Amino acid sequence: MAMPLKVSDLMSYVNPVTSDTPVAKVAEIMKEEFTSIVPVVDESGRIKGVIYAEDLLAPFIPDFFDLIEDFDYVTSFGALDVDVFSDFTYKLFLAEDVMQTKFRYLKPEDSVLKAIFYIVKERRTCLIVVDEKMTYKGIITRLAILKRLYGNGK
Amino acid sequence: MEMGSNVQLLIGIFVVAFLLIAFEKWHRTTVSFFSAILVIVLGFLTPEEAWNFIDFNTLGLLLGMMIIVAFFRRTGFFEFVAIKAIRISKGNFFALFFFFFMLTGFVSAFLDNVTTVLIFSPIIILVARMTGISPFPFLVGEIIASNLGGTATLIGDPPNIIIGSAANLSFNDFVVNLTLPVLLVMVITVYFLKFLFKNKYKIDGKFDLSTVKIDERGAIKDRVLLFKTLGVFFFVIVGFILHDRLHLLPSIVALTGAVLLLFVTNYDPEKLLHEVEWTTLFFFGGLFVLVGALEKFHVIENLANLLLRFSRGELGLILVVSLLSFVFTVIMGAIPFVVTMVPILQSIITKTPGIHANALWWTLSLSACFMGNATLIAAAANLVVAGISEKTQDKITFKNYLKYGLLSSIVSFLIALLYIIIRYYVIK
């Protein structure tokens, strides 16, 4: 009988950042490490929050957009297109300004089935992994799970 | 407890309830519902009496229209019309302002004001940001147009629904007596606002629409649903026009439309009924019970006597009703004021044979609905638009709205008063 898969079997490591890291640096980590999640930790390595790629994109969306259900009738936003992308003030934001402090996390000993459940249910690309003291341990990505499930067990 | 102290306690409950509604420390529905239960628990009304004081025609009409509106919101029809208006304006600032003002007024004559502003305000902000202009004058215009337009018909504004139900006035009565003055006030107000805005905001001239690429056809979310909703709505309007002849209450017409839509679309009623504003319905229900208790203990009759003594003559009464609307709508909002005034006017009409009853009802309707524009807290739609404006750089605040709201409501109030006097007392 095959051993049950644990989160630690598929876990990988992404360099964490601290609260005062500029978001531009966070974006650079995402780009260089091919990740859509960056953990935010304190000096002792305890997790304080997570930043998803969406959290870096969200500030570009004008606040009033959430009042409109869809934009099927718009092809070009005119002056708004120019306004939004010419505003570089977002680059001055720090990690603590955009990080999510309430987030789903897993333990290394958790079953991969639990990871699959949350990834599917919450439509995430990856989840953070911490130990019982909330110390950052790594991440588990849906790609890693996919590779394992559809890659002949490798 | 003595009878006198009983009544004093009841008046005390009423005054405290209305003060709490005005200051919004608790949700208005909580206050209204709590007061209603209190008057039953304290024995002012039996549960049966309380039940009988609730105007189920008003509640049914509101409920039916809320369900129809929920269907409309799923179609994208109003977004379609709004985008069409942008294209028709051809980059002319005032044309766009005028179209949106009139469109909002027209739509809120049939749908409730809050729904109307919830549909149009985000599109207005979008257009303003797309074209690099300030949304502020448009949003203020949106508030004012929704309150004015809602006055035009029986179903446009809750005060009209309450008045129509209590005074047995039909949909057609409202159209014949109110639509014309409302239209007149809307046209005058749109130019008056242009005058008020001209020094601070760009309201004339052209704006660049060339880089904006929008197609109203994309706004329609469900064509089949749109046709079904428009079809049923058409029959509902015909039903309203004929309800008097058919001996059907307006609430039955609206509820028939609502259940017909549920039937022909086979939508899940559980999901749809979540969109009904139950808090508003409970708010109304509580108010009816509270004011009903005042009626039972002759407080309303005494207030009517006081009003008659104070006003001296019919024209004086018209003036007093208008001025009371002016003051109390601003303080407590139009709905609680109208719920209280309706039995008072009914008592006055009973006591004064030969009085022009309808002139009194139209005065109450026009003045209470129009004064909803006076301040940012005078009507629900105002607060909704102010909330939406917080998502822009041009927030609508109590202070920056007051100039436009108060001045335009004074203008509309005076036109309404003049209309009432000329139409019902000079021309007769």
Regions of chain B where pLDDT drops below 70 = 1-5, 428
Nearest CA in chain A to B211: A78
Interface of B with A in 354-413 (CB under 8 A): 388, 391-392
Q: Which of B208, B213, B221 sits opposite A75 (nearest CB)?
A: B213
Contact between B212 and A62 using a beta-carbon 8 Å cutoff: no
- At B1 the pLDDT is 47
Chain B CB within 8 Å of residue A72 CB: yes
The residues that bridge with A41 in the sheet, in sequence order, are A47
Chain A CB within 8 Å of residue B91 CB: no
* pLDDT of A146 over the 90 cut: yes
Mutate to test the interface with A, among B73, B78, B214, B222 (most CBs of A within 10 A): B214
Contact between A73 and B217 using a beta-carbon 8 Å cutoff: yes
**Contacts A78 to B, Cβ<8 Å:** 130-132, 208-209, 211-213
Using one digit for the tens of pLDDT, what is the confidence trace for B169-220? Answer: 999 999 999 999 999 999 999 999 999 998 887 777 787 777 778 888 888 9
Residue B144 near residue B408 (C-beta atoms within 8 A) = yes
Q: How far is B172 from chain A (nearest CA, A)?
A: 35
Using one digit for the tens of pLDDT, what is the confidence trace for A72-128? Answer: 888 888 888 887 777 666 677 899 999 999 999 999 999 999 999 999 999 999 999
**Residue A134 to residue B21: CA distance in whole angstroms:** 47
Nearest CA in chain A to B219: A73
**pTM score, whole prediction:** 0.82
CATH top-level class for A7-150?
alpha beta
- Local structure of B46: helix, strand or coil: coil
Q: Which of B122, B130, B217 sits opposite A77 (nearest CB)?
A: B130
**Contacts A69 to B, Cβ<8 Å:** 221
- At B3 the pLDDT is 55
CB pairs under 8 A between A and B: 68
**Contacts B215 to A, Cβ<8 Å:** 73, 75
Q: How far is A67 from chain B (nearest CA, A)?
A: 6
Distances (CA, A) of B252 to A59, B255, B347: 48, 5, 27
Q: What is the ipTM of this complex?
A: 0.73
Contact between A73 and B388 using a beta-carbon 8 Å cutoff: no
* pLDDT of A154 over the 60 cut: no
* pLDDT of A53 over the 50 cut: yes
- At B88 the pLDDT is 86
* pLDDT of A55 over the 70 cut: yes
Closest CA to A25 of A76, A97, A85, A116: A97
Residue A73 near residue B123 (C-beta atoms within 8 A) = no
Using one digit for the tens of pLDDT, what is the confidence trace for B305-350? Answer: 888 888 878 899 999 999 998 888 887 778 888 999 999 999 999 9
Entry field: residues in chain A? 154
Closest CA to B237 of B309, B174, B188: B174
Chain A CB within 8 Å of residue B131 CB: yes
Amino acid identity of residue B181, one-letter, is: P
Residue B69 near residue B115 (C-beta atoms within 8 A) = yes
**Contacts A83 to B, Cβ<8 Å:** 129, 132
Q: How far is B383 from chain A (nearest CA, A)?
A: 15
- At B152 the pLDDT is 94
**Residue B428 to residue B426: CA distance in whole angstroms:** 6
**Contacts B209 to A, Cβ<8 Å:** 78
**Contacts A70 to B, Cβ<8 Å:** 221
**Residue B342 to residue B53: CA distance in whole angstroms:** 13
DSSP string, B103-120: HHHHHHTTS-HHHHHHHH
